Amino acid sequence: MSRITLIGGLHAVQSALRYDPTRVTEIWLDRRRRDARLQKLRRQVAELHCKVHEADARTLDDKLPGANHQGVVLAWQGQAPRGDVELADHLDGLGHPPLLLVLDQVQDPHNLGACLRTADAAGVDAVITPRDRAVGLTPVVHRVAAGAAEIVPLFQVTNLARCLRDLRDRGIWLFGLAEEGATTFHGADLTGAVAVVMGAEGKGLRRLTREHCDTLAAIPMAGRVESLNVSVATGVVLFEAVRQRQAFAWPSG
């Protein structure tokens, strides 16, 4: 039976809903609170088809003793949303140079689902996204990912620029994809500890994200279309990394 975790507080609950609303099984709301933030939350959870309980403050206090629940507690099935601390623990536990995928404000659930499916096929150790202005594990993401959303570790970090600095401090090389890249991705060494950093639909990498990358490279385009969809570009680069890492691990001859 899956573990049930209770999460309280407006910020934590909103983060959980962005991360993966399909894991919410029940939610308790303070029946006396009618402020704008709780009303907005009521509208959100009404679309989830989960059990919604209008409760008194004592019931909420009993659910999370000693916690500042701010009038809302939800029941979460399975692994709780993972963020900065969990990412650090995950990287500490890896026994090999990691291959990571960083998605900078990807908001289309179809793209995130496709990226997760590709990440699983390529053996990516973790997918990292910012907590804000990025899609979470919505039902559409689950459907497109075809099971990969439950397998590939996804981490939503509070500050992506700070996370990139932390990755660099760990010796992880930050490889960004951008049209203005000075070289093509074929010439990059992707055999070591690498984070492939991809930009959002249309806008690409944000300025601050680009500045934190060690290298910017482009995918050469032979046609008239200027760029590839982010999920397609992700697949191209990740499987170049797979090719290089396999050749490095098992040299021919």
Q: Indicate the fold that domain 4-77 takes in CATH.
A: 60s Ribosomal Protein L30; Chain: A; (3.30.1330)
For residues 4 and 76, is the Cβ–Cβ distance under 8 A?
yes
Q: Which sequence spans correspond to the domains of the chain?
A: 4-77, 84-249
End-to-end CA distance of the chain: 49
- Judge residue 201's burial from the number of C-beta atoms within 10 Å of its C-beta, 0-12 exposed, 13-18 middle, 19 or more buried: middle
Winning range, highest mean pLDDT, from 63-77, 93-107, 192-206? 93-107
Dihedral (CA of 146, 147, 148, 150) sign? positive
pLDDT of residue 8 exceeding 60: yes
pLDDT of residue 252 exceeding 60: no
For residues 162 and 87, is the Cβ–Cβ distance under 8 A?
no
199 annotated ligand-binding residue = yes
Where do runs of H (alpha helix) occur along the chain? 10-19, 36-46, 57-63, 84-92, 109-122, 139-145, 160-169, 207-212, 230-249
pLDDT of residue 166: 97
pLDDT of residue 88: 96
192 annotated ligand-binding residue = no
The CATH number of the structural domain formed by 84-249 is 3.40.1280.10
Give 45-58 pLDDT, tens digit per residue: 888 888 999 999 99
219 annotated ligand-binding residue = yes
pTM here? 0.77
pLDDT of residue 250 exceeding 70: no
Give 76-105 pLDDT, tens digit per residue: 887 667 899 999 999 999 999 999 999 999
Give 123-177 pLDDT, tens digit per residue: 999 999 998 889 988 878 888 998 888 889 999 999 999 999 999 999 999 999 9
